[in-house]
């Protein structure tokens, strides 16, 4: 919850992913450490800290762009 982590359905654990919020234009790099999300319309679930850093904490859902870093 307090670390820069995320859940993704298929990316290997440990993968670093840059997440850019298309509304705020802010970016954060997270490490994949869990499986999910299980809602069909979502591609990634961010930790609370990662969501806070890109301005998604209060909106809950937003359009994002993903780029694999490593």
Residues 27 and 12: their CA atoms lie apart, in Å, by 21
Domain extent listing, the chain: 5-68
- Look over the chain and give the mean of its residue pLDDT values, rounded to a whole number: 95
Pairing label, strands 45-46, 5-7: antiparallel
Residue 70 has pLDDT above 80, yes or no: no
Tell me the per-residue pLDDT of 4-34, one tens digit each, with 9 for 90 and over: 999 999 999 999 999 999 999 999 999 999 9
- Confidence band of 43 (pLDDT split at 50, 70, 90): very high
Q: What is the pLDDT of residue 23?
A: 94
**Would you state the CATH architecture of domain 5-68?**
Beta Barrel (2.40)
- Write out the DSSP string of the chain: --SSEEE-SSSPTT-EEEEEETTT--EEEEEEEE----STT-S-EE-HHHHHHTT-TTT----EEEEE--
């Amino acid at each position: 919850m307090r670390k820069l982590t995320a859940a993704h359905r298929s990316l290997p654990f440990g993968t670093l992913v840059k997440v850019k919020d298309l509304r705020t234009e802010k970016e954060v790099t997270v490490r994949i450490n869990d499986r999910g999300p299980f809602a069909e319309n979502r591609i990634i679930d961010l930790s609370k800290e990662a969501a806070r850093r890109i301005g998604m904490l209060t909106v809950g859902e937003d359009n994002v762009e993903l780029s694999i870093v490593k």
